[in-house]
Amino acid sequence: MIENQSDNIDNKENDISSQDSAPEDASSPEDQIIENDESSSKKTEEINTEELKNTISNNDARLEQLEKEHETLKNQYVRISADFDNFRKRQSRDQDDMKIQLISKSLTAILPIVDNFERARQQLKPESEEAQALHRSYQGLYKQLVEVLKNQGVAPMRVVGQQFDPNLHEAVLREPSDELKEDIIIEELQRGYHLEGKVLRHALVKVSMGPGKQNSQEEVEKDKVEGDIDSEENTSEDV
């Protein structure tokens, strides 16, 4: 019996020694599970980081594309807005021009009547009471006509003593003058009119040629006549 106990003790010692001789770095199953979890967690984090980088990169590219599209649409809007504003202004200007043209055409047809009224006023010299009454009636009609033209924006030109301007005046006659310089209007032959600052009808005027123009013109004509006489004499001598 004592031998059996000794055998059991030897067996226990052998078990203990076998346990002691096992590798110290051998890990238990729980440690391996923890290590596997940690490695898989690291891999997952690496994958998530890579996906996040790709997502950010894609978002940046998309944002840049959207900014370019926004800038393009903004430029198109600005151009369309400017074109529409120019179109609106052009339409308004064309309508104003057409309105002025229509009014000008109508008023131009009335102006000869105004001229006749003014000529009659200058020529008529009423002496009798009946003639004076007729003259007053005539003056009333003339004032009404002038008032209508004034309400339409028509204004007469004041040209006598002014510098000749081909944009406003039409020179019908030119004559020398010792009192006025050249291109100064001497007389108004037919009144001109403005309409809203534009010329409705040019004024027909007589313009000064300035002093000495008549003499110089006579000298030119005299020289021309003398030259013709000399040429005729030379021709007769040759014959």
Percent of residues, the chain, with pLDDT higher than 70: 69
Write out pLDDT tens, residues 138-157. Answer: 888 888 888 988 888 899 99
- Grade residue 21 by pLDDT with cuts at 50, 70 and 90: very low
Average pLDDT, the chain: 76
Q: Are 54 and 46 in contact (CB under 8 A)?
A: no
Report the pLDDT averaged over residues 176-182. 88
Give pLDDT, residue 37. 60
Distance CA 170, CA 181 (A): 18
Q: In the chain, what percentage of residues exceed pLDDT 90? A: 17
Residue with tokens 């105004």: 114
Q: Are 210 and 182 in contact (CB under 8 A)?
A: yes
* Higher per-residue confidence, 215 vs 70: 70
pLDDT(72) > 60: yes
Dihedral, CA atoms, 148, 153, 156, 161, nearest 10 degrees?
160
Residue that wins the pLDDT comparison between 135 and 111:
111
Contacts of 7 (CB under 8 A, 6+ apart): none
Q: 86-96: per-residue pLDDT in tens?
A: 988 998 888 88
Q: How confident is the model at residue 220 (pLDDT cuts 50, 70, 90)?
A: very low
